[in-house]
Structure 1
């Protein structure tokens, strides 16, 4: 599981990224909500000044949890808290979010058309890490998105250090990933994204403290990862640190803004 001492360190970017966890309305067909998010709502967010990247992560309708069972850790995703999608927003600078306040008001107003609950998880500068794990010409054909809940008694600083210095290198060391992104979050505050007419209920015991995006060559490679030997070592590392591991099946990842430019059509 560990990388060779002689191996060159991975190139890593440390952008300023926030994630908005999304639940679509249940009083209309789920696909109608997902399509509105993919279409009209994406245009509102893409036009926000100061974005370095904006991508939508669409999660499968049926998600019970990809991570194998671990004693004392919740790996089964509760049906009543199952996320439908995640908006991943990366800014060009620390001050960039201030530039988008007017556009954010439009996003607030449109949320009621598609979502029933939205939760913003933000991190301090340098808390998001994008690791260069793909070789030349390698692309991502399947993804999993993992949310981690810190175990009571584990400090926030120690947990961030664990994610950045132990978990990420161990994941990279598997040699099968074509994408590896991590985020560690500040304590959740409703006032950071208190949109009108949309729920923001988030009991303390439901809070998340980090996320990990894993990319694979294809679905078969992803399935092999979650049923192979590497997962046992990762589980043993995670068990003392977390009380929940919610590993989602990703059906699509759509990029609308890349390298600070709005794309003419989203990139899959």
Structure 2
């Protein structure tokens, strides 16, 4: 283990997305990357806007761990995640016009959307890679808190134990974490698409793990260190759904809309 890296705290939201299944999946993913991204990118007040495209074949890459669900149920398998980081809490109120446009456009590509949000500071980016260092492979992990574990204890474990241990491993090129407030449909009740989210299917935190390449990712996930961490995680989480990321595309960076998306 190396020394603990610096961490920057942010105000972020994640919108979990399922593309329409009455048309080819590729068509929906391409529309999200194209016309829909331009609507979102024009929203004022954003520090960053990133699309996390998930591989179509995703059964769960987290190591099997006793007492924790690591196989992703096919019926709830996510297609992608819109990751939005705001400049401040006041930014939420700046983009109402663009948000209304996004609401109306969702029906063109999505069948279900769910928004998860934490207050400022609950999104954390760890400086685990060198500036400009390429991330060749990513995994997005969604965690479900055990019913027997309190929300504060769960957040404390993620922020004070799990994330620092991952960051200090010296093997990651990217590490971002989010812990969420209790989910409520009112935050993102868009028309014409589903927002069903049964209590036993909700998530309470996420991790983005970036690696130099697929081989480094596999070695990390198969390591003794991760097996040990996962056994500790199972005391707090009932599920760890780890998705293979196919693309992570940035459209707004440093508060500026980019002319072309960046991988």
Map 1:14-25 onto structure 2 (within 5 A): 14-25=9-20
Alpha-carbon shift at residue 138 of structure 1 (Å): 2.1
Gaps of 5+ in 1: none
Alpha-carbon shift at residue 137 of structure 1 (Å): 4.3
Map 1:1-268 onto structure 2 (within 5 A): 3=1, 7=3, 9-268=4-263
> SS at the partner of 2:108?
coil
**Contact 2:5 2:168 (8 Å CA) reproduced:** no
Given the two structures, how large is their TM-score scaled by the length of structure 2? 0.98
| CA distance in structure 1 between the partners assigned to 2:101 and 2:5 by the alignment | 39
CA displacement 1:73-120 (0-9 Å, x = unmatched): 100000000000000000000110100111100000000000000000
| CA distance in structure 2 between the partners assigned to 1:247 and 1:225 by the alignment | 13
CA displacement 1:47-86 (0-9 Å, x = unmatched): 0010000000000000000011111110000000000000
CA displacement 1:188-220 (0-9 Å, x = unmatched): 000100000000000000000000000000111
Matched residue pairs, number? 263
| CA distance in structure 2 between the partners assigned to 1:48 and 1:107 by the alignment | 10
> SS at the partner of 1:14?
strand
| CA distance in structure 2 between the partners assigned to 1:46 and 1:177 by the alignment | 28
| CA distance in structure 1 between the partners assigned to 2:192 and 2:219 by the alignment | 42
Q: Structure 1 stretch 134-143 or stretch 41-50: which is displaced more?
A: 134-143
> SS at the partner of 2:88?
coil
Q: Structure 1 stretch 221-230 or stretch 92-101: which is displaced more?
A: 221-230
* RMSD, matched Cα: 0.9
CA displacement 1:211-250 (0-9 Å, x = unmatched): 0000000111111111122221111210100000000000
**Contact 2:47 2:252 (8 Å CA) reproduced:** yes
| CA distance in structure 2 between the partners assigned to 1:110 and 1:45 by the alignment | 11
| CA distance in structure 2 between the partners assigned to 1:223 and 1:195 by the alignment | 38
| CA distance in structure 2 between the partners assigned to 1:136 and 1:201 by the alignment | 40
> SS at the partner of 1:37?
helix
